[in-house]
Amino acid sequence: MNDLLIYPLLIPVMTAALALIFFKNRDFQRWINVIGSAALVGASALLLYSVNNDGIQVLQPGNWEAPFGISLVADLFSALMVMITGIKALAVSIYSLGDMDERRESFGFHSLFQILIFGVNGAFLTGDLFNLYVWFEVMLITSFVLLSLGNDKSQLDGAVKYVVINLFSSLVFLSGVGIMYGITGTLNLAAMADALQDTEHTGLVITASMMFLVSFGIKSAVFPLFFWLPASYHTPPITVTAIFGALLTKVGVYSLVRMFTLVFTQDIGYTHTILLWISVPTMVVGVLGAASQYDVRKILSFHIVSQIGYMIMGLAFFTKIALAGVIYYILHNILAKTNLFLVAGIARKYVGSYHLSKLGGIYKAYPLLSAMFAISAISLAGLPPLTGFWAKYTVIYAGLEIGEWVVIGFALAVGLMTLFSMTKIWMGAYWSPLPDEAPVVADKNYKEPTEGQKFALFFPVILIAGLIVILGIFGEPFFSMLFDAADQLLDPSMYINAVLNP
């Protein structure tokens, strides 16, 4: 038994419960959010350390043995995801101190934030299919509420599209769970994988896998299921967008990776070819969308879609180096994308808009902010030597190794377009002079941020940018974990044994 697994769940939900109980005390909520996130970083680090040293960790809450109770399982992939979630939570919770408005705070922003983290971590750690569904629903309802919190017109509009499509996705997922239970008689992923190793119902299992593909495909916003994302992500306050921005879709990708490495490996020639077919248009359509937008948040939202394509592509390649690349890509993307949203938020505070036609002159006036944007953007565009380069390099290497010329050709072209759309922001908002008609500050209620707020806004941005640089330049220890994680994914027996034969 390993209690380390429960802390990444316990800490955020306890924080959320306390924030709810004392919800009238705004300061209490704000600080417990930060403290809870900091504690989560510590707990995640311990978990990662333990998994890295001692292999896959399993916890049976309720002490019911493996296929009967719910298992919490942390392999390196999960532990890395939990770790990055913690870091992101800490960064965004600090940022929210400088950004969140009083109305939203007093209607539960902080506890919702923590519950979202709780749901995300649960999805990363659970080893049970139905339980995964529950975690998805926790995330889903929390993201609904966070998305609509504030009731702006565009928020409600975005929320309607988000809610309807995602509810459909959940129900498809739930049907899939029912079908898998109906076939294998168990919900435990390890037991399910074990039972399916020599199943005679391959066709049926593959059919069910397509339902999961659709459901997780919606969550991770792949082509042609991504519409809800660009329709809604630009509507809430930037802090919320930043929470969603990189994390929620990655849970979908995580689930796809988990299911298509552990459970659905009966007919890789079929399932993973479909994944490959999906990945290419996802990359292309996403990046073209980004190239056609002028709202910074929309550009970044479309980029999320595009980069999901890379991850799915790596999963479809299904080699060790490809899977290591997928994990790297996810982690990198969470950092870079979060930072870009946060930077966009600060830019808006200073210049008053998210729209490129109304932005300008930031390079001249705010060199620090410009540097932060440049680091994140260069990383996102996949230029060396930052994290984005390694992510892209690894996946592309994997593809060339197995001779996927056409797919890699698309991936490289998309990389160029990514670079283009990053320079679009850079040139429109940073280099070009401020347009004459642009208001200095669009918001009527605008107040110059206080020194404390500025610190709250800049600190997380610098923190993440620092991580991007450090991980980019000193990658060795990190890659050692990634390759171990890929080993664990490629050899499901490690996972199965860890759960079923502790």
Partner 1 sequence: MKSVILQTATRLLFPLLLIFSVFLFFRGHNEPGGGFIGGLVGAAAFVLFAVAFGTEITRKLLRMDPRVMVGWGLFFALLSGIMSMMAGDSFFTGQWVFPILFGSELHVGTPLIFDIGVYLVVVGFTLAVIFALEEEDN
Partner 2 sequence: MEPLLAIVIGILVALSIYLILRKNLVRIVIGIVILSNAVNLLIFTLGRLDRGMPPLIPAGESVPVEAFANPLPQALVLTAIVIGFGLFAFALVLTYRAYTELGSVNVDDMRVAEPAYKGEELPETAITQEEDKS
Partner 3 sequence: MTILFSVLLIFAVAFVGPMAAKYLKNYSGWALSLVPLTVFLWFTGFIPEISGGSVINESYVWVSYLGINMSFYLDGLSLMFALIVTGVGTFIMIYGGGYLGSDPNLGRFYFSVLLFMGSMLGVVLADNIIALFIFWELTSISSYLLIGYKHNKEDSRKSALQALLVTGSGGLAMLAGFILLAIMTGTMEISEMFTQSGIVSEHPWYLGMLILVLIGAFTKSAQFPFHFWLPGAMAAPTPVSAYLHSATMVKAGVYLLARLSPVLSGTIEWTYIVTLFGAVTMLIGAWLALAHTDLKKILAYSTVMALGTLTMLLGMGHEYAVKAVAVFILGHSLYKGALFMVAGTVDHEAGTRDVRFISGLRKTMPFTATFGCIAALSMAGLAPLLGFIGKELVYEAALSASVFPLFLITAAVVSNIAVVASSGIVAIRPFFGEYKEHGKQVHEAPVSMWIGPAFLSVLSIVFGVLPFLIDGSIISKAAASIAGTPELVVSLSLWHGINAALILSVVTFASGVAVYMVWNKFRDSKGFQGYDRWMGEGPKNGYENILAGVLNFASVQTRFFQNGYLRYYLLTVLSFFVLIVGFTLFTKTDVSLMADFSDISFYEWTIALVIVVAAFAAVMAGSGLVAIAALGVAGYSISLLYVLFSAPDLAITQVLVETLTVILVALVLIHIPKFTATTSTSSKVRDGIIAGAAGTLVTLIVLAVLTVDFDPFMTDYFAENSYVVAYGRNIVNVILVDFRALDTFGEIVVIGVAGVGVYGLIKLGKSLFRKEEGKTV
Spatial CB neighbours of 461, under 8 Å, sequence gap ≥ 6: 91, 95, 339, 342, 343, 346, 372
Q: Which of residues 214-233 bind partner 2 (CB under 8 A)?
A: 230-232
Q: Choosing among partner 2, partner 3, partner 1, none, which partner's interface includes residue 154 (Cβ < 5 to 8 Å by kind)?
A: partner 2
Q: How far apart are CA 291 and CA 275, in angstroms?
A: 24
Comparison of 71 and 421: residue with beta carbon closer to partner 1: 71
Instruction: Please identify, using beta-carbon distances, which residue of 198 and 476 lies nearer to partner 3.
Output: 476
Contacting residue, 175, 357, 432, 497, with partner 2 by CB under 8 A: 175
Tokens 């870091």 belong to: 87
In angstroms, give the least distance from the CB of 36 to partner 3: 15
Question: Taking CB under 8 A as the rule, does residue 20 contact partner 1?
Answer: yes
Does 20 sit near partner 2 (CB under 8 A)?
A: no
The candidate with the shortest Cα–Cα distance to 489, out of 321, 369, 246, 332, is 321
Does residue 14 belong to the site contacting partner 1 (CB under 8 A)? yes
Measured between alpha carbons, how far is 439 from 352 in angstroms, rounded to an integer?
7
The CA–CA distances, whole Å, from 117 to 33, 177, 384 equal 11, 23, 31
Minimum Å distance from CB 24 to partner 1? 8
Smallest separation, CB 169 to partner 3 (Å): 8
Task: Give min distance, CB of 89 to partner 1, in A.
Answer: 18
Amino acid letter, 25: N
* 210, two tokens: 């397509």
Cβ proximity to partner 2: between 156 and 427 the closer is 156
Number of helices and strands in the chain (H, E): 21, 2
Exposed / middle / buried, residue 476 (Cβ in 10 Å: 0-12, 13-18, 19+): exposed
Choosing among partner 1, partner 2, partner 3, none, which partner's interface includes residue 60 (Cβ < 5 to 8 Å by kind)? partner 1
Distance of CA 258 to the CA centre of its chain: 15
User: 352 φ, ψ to 5°?
Assistant: 100, 10
| Binding flag, residue 500, partner 1 (CB under 8 A) | no
Minimum Å gap between C-beta 189 and partner 3 is 14
Residue 413 makes contact with partner 1 by CB under 8 A: no
231 binds partner 1 (CB under 8 A): no
Residue linked to tokens 């996972």: 495
Considering only residues 45-64, where is the footprint of partner 1 by CB under 8 A?
A: 59-63
Q: Does 157 bind partner 2 (CB under 8 A)?
A: yes
Residue 461, H or E segment: helix 451-473
Instruction: Measure the CA–CA gap between 288 and 299, rounded to whole angstroms.
Output: 10
User: Which residues bind to partner 2, rule: CB under 8 A?
Assistant: 130, 133-134, 137, 140-141, 144-145, 148, 151, 153-161, 163-164, 167-168, 170-171, 174-175, 177-179, 181-182, 187, 230-232, 234-235
